[in-house]
Amino acid sequence: MIRFLPELLLIGTGLFLLILDPFLPASRKSLLGKIALLGLVGGFLATLSLWGKESLLFGGLLALDGYALFFKEIFLSVTILTLLVSFRYLSLEKIPQGEYFALLLFATVGMMVMAAGTNLLSIYLGLEVMAISSYALVGLIRKDLRSLEGALKYFLLGAFNSGIILYGIALLYGATGSTDLSEIFIFFSRVPPSKMMLVGVALLVAGFGFKISAFPFHMWVPDAYEGSPTPIAGYLSVASKAASFAALLRVFLVALIPLQPEWRNLVILLSILTMTFGNLLAFAQESVKRMLAYSSIAHAGYLLIGLAVGNVLGVSAILFYFVAYALMNLGAFSMIVLLTRQGTRAESLEDFKGLANRHPVWGFCFLLFLLSLTGIPPSAGFVGKFYLLAGAIQTGLYGLALVAVLNSVVALAYYSRIARNMYMMEERRRPEISPSWALRFSLILLAILTLGFGLFPAPLFELVQEASQSIL
């Protein structure tokens, strides 16, 4: 049981929050956030202590390998940062705190199960826990129609998508007689694939494609992100995508690797379409939140390069990129949180005009995140992209690499619009912003790490290599 302690800690904290919430007077609600934070930090430390103790849990349903632990640490760190960013935001937007924190914890547990799942069913279980919690999180700004619209859209498409994944699992089960990933692998290495299996694989690609927001399954992303509380948009764009990638990689590179010739070209195609489409549409956005939503689609496209590469280098690159992506994307969404004031939404490009002039430190932080998102050194984003491209070049995917780098030029065109507004435009009004200390701390931390991993990526390199070797 001790090996499941991190998850149990989160579940316990979440349940405790739900029980405690009704008994707290409105003025003491901030206590809830602190308890949630405590639970998360506990979970983080507990996960850390499990490092190096490889084993299987629950009769082989979950694996406790370096890969799963690495992802779990990413989820927990992202959740902690999301929490820190949310504190003042929740009271500004009048979001019920008890539900918010509890749902956040439950969603994180779902992700942790997904990353550790070695059986299609346990992965599906984690995925549903995560998905249902996120539907509710997106719709938590109850007065706001956009929030409700986003949540409804996300829920309807998500429920439909769950059906698709389940159907894919059923077909694979029917074909191979097992839902265990290693048994599916053994089956496929002996038996050539039939039509039914390929349909199953295709359904899984579509289902996970939806979760990682790959083209053409990305339709929910802009609306859901725009409607949801801003910290949640950041959380979904990073943690939910990372969890889906964690499961996707494990399914495709452990169980379905014998079918690689079958699905590889499909992944390359998805990657190219996703990054190009995401970038081109991001260019047309006036709302920074929507722009970041489309940019997160484009980043899913970059990440798919790692899956197309499909070896240790590719998986390590994805793991590295997720660290970088978590830093820069959370940073970017936190910048929108920074501008949020009582009763107004400040998320259009206009709102960033002259920001760097008034608040040089925050302006510079955002600049750093934007450079990192574009992939300009010295930043974690550059090293991550470099790593992904290295994988593509090594395996001879020159065309894919070329499309990817040309996409970063397109990406510069829209990210620079934010930088331009911050540095080169005159402000029109002078909104006061007074970020909470937690938000200041997170922004500075994110900026330092973005720069730090850009300059000294060596320790992280070793870590991701170790983690990816544990599944391949």
Partner 1 sequence: MLSFLCYLPLAGALIILFFNREWHKPIRLFAFLVSLSAFVVSLFLIPPFRLDYSGMQWVEKHPWIEAIGVSYFLGVDGVSLPLVLLTTFLSAIAVLSSFTAIKERQKEYYVSLLFLETGMLGVFMALDLFLFYIFWEVMLVPMYFLIGVWGHERRLYAAIKFFLYTLFGSVLMLLGILALYFLSANPAYGTGGGTFDFLQLTHLSLPIQIQLWLFTAFFFAFAIKVPMFPFHTWLPDAHVEAPTAGSVLLAGVLLKMGTYGFMRFGLLLFPEASRKAAPLMVTLAIIGIIYGAFVAMAQTDMKKLIAYSSVSHLGFVMLGIFSLTPQGLSGALLQMINHGISTGALFLIVGMLYERRHTHLISEFGGLSHRMPVFATFFAITMFSSIGLPGLNGFIGEFLILLGAFRARFLYAALAVSGIVLGAAYMLWLYQRTMFGECDNPKNRSIPDCGMREICYMIPLVLLMFWIGLYPKPFLHISEATLQHVHQLVQTTLLSSMVR
Taking the complex as a whole, the smallest distance from the CB of residue 350 to partner 1 amounts, in Å, to 15
Query: For residue 268, which of 218, 215, 304 has the smallest C-alpha distance?
Result: 304
C-alpha–C-alpha distance, residues 315 and 306, integer Å = 6
C-alpha–C-alpha distance, residues 71 and 94, integer Å = 32
DSSP 242-289: HHHHHHHHHIIIIISGGGHHHHHHHHHHHHHHHHHHHHHHHHT-SBHH
Taking the complex as a whole, the smallest distance from the CB of residue 92 to partner 1 amounts, in Å, to 30
In this structure, are strands 62-64 and 55-57 parallel, antiparallel, or unpaired? antiparallel
Taking the complex as a whole, the smallest distance from the CB of residue 238 to partner 1 amounts, in Å, to 25
The secondary structure of residue 96, as a DSSP letter, is: -
User: According to CB under 8 A, which one of 377, 440, 445, 472 is a site residue for partner 1?
Assistant: 377
Q: Tell me, residue by residue from 353 to 372, as one string, x for binding to partner 1 by CB under 8 A and - for no binding.
A: ----x--x----------x-
Taking the complex as a whole, the smallest distance from the CB of residue 23 to partner 1 amounts, in Å, to 49
Query: For residue 372, which of 425, 299, 312, 439 has the smallest C-alpha distance?
Result: 299
- CA 59, 61, 65, 70 dihedral sign is negative
- Kindly identify the residues of this chain, within the stretch 389-408, that bind partner 1 according to CB under 8 A: 389-390, 393-394, 398, 401-402, 405-406, 408
Q: Tell me, residue by residue from 445 to 464, as one string, x for binding to partner 1 by CB under 8 A and - for no binding.
A: ------------xx--xx--
The secondary structure of residue 61, as a DSSP letter, is: T
Please identify, using beta-carbon distances, which residue of 105 and 356 lies nearer to partner 1.
356
Beta-bridged to residue 55, according to DSSP, are: 64
Taking the complex as a whole, the smallest distance from the CB of residue 394 to partner 1 amounts, in Å, to 5
- Kindly identify the residues of this chain, within the stretch 259-278, that bind partner 1 according to CB under 8 A: none
Q: Applying CB under 8 A, does 413 fall inside the site for partner 1? A: yes
Please identify, using beta-carbon distances, which residue of 243 and 309 lies nearer to partner 1.
309
C-alpha–C-alpha distance, residues 171 and 247, integer Å = 18
* Cα-Cα end-to-end distance for the chain: 26
User: According to CB under 8 A, which one of 182, 416, 436, 470 is a site residue for partner 1?
Assistant: 416
Q: Applying CB under 8 A, does 376 fall inside the site for partner 1? A: yes
Q: Applying CB under 8 A, does 420 fall inside the site for partner 1? A: yes
Q: Applying CB under 8 A, does 441 fall inside the site for partner 1? A: no
Strand locations in 157-276 (E): none
Sequence-separated contacts (24+) of 458-464 with Cβ below 8 Å = 460/320, 460/323, 461/316, 461/320, 463/70, 464/70, 464/316, 464/317, 464/319, 464/320, 464/323
User: According to CB under 8 A, which one of 409, 428, 437, 448 is a site residue for partner 1?
Assistant: 409
Please identify, using beta-carbon distances, which residue of 55 and 394 lies nearer to partner 1.
394
Q: Applying CB under 8 A, does 311 fall inside the site for partner 1? A: no
Please identify, using beta-carbon distances, which residue of 167 and 461 lies nearer to partner 1.
461
User: ω into residue 360 within 30 of 0, thus cis?
Assistant: no
Q: Applying CB under 8 A, does 382 fall inside the site for partner 1? A: yes
Taking the complex as a whole, the smallest distance from the CB of residue 375 to partner 1 amounts, in Å, to 8
Query: Which amino acid is residue 221, in one-letter code?
Result: V
Please identify, using beta-carbon distances, which residue of 286 and 462 lies nearer to partner 1.
462
Q: Applying CB under 8 A, does 444 fall inside the site for partner 1? A: no
User: According to CB under 8 A, which one of 167, 173, 386, 441 is a site residue for partner 1?
Assistant: 386
Please identify, using beta-carbon distances, which residue of 89 and 423 lies nearer to partner 1.
423
Please identify, using beta-carbon distances, which residue of 115 and 411 lies nearer to partner 1.
411
- CA 186, 189, 191, 197 dihedral sign is positive
Q: What are phi and psi of 377, to 5 degrees?
A: -70, 165
E strand or H helix that includes residue 369? helix 360-374
Please identify, using beta-carbon distances, which residue of 120 and 371 lies nearer to partner 1.
371
Please identify, using beta-carbon distances, which residue of 114 and 460 lies nearer to partner 1.
460
Q: Which residues bind partner 1 (CB under 8 A)?
A: 357, 360, 371, 376-378, 382, 386, 389-390, 393-394, 398, 401-402, 405-406, 408-409, 412-413, 416, 420, 423-424, 457-458, 461-462, 465
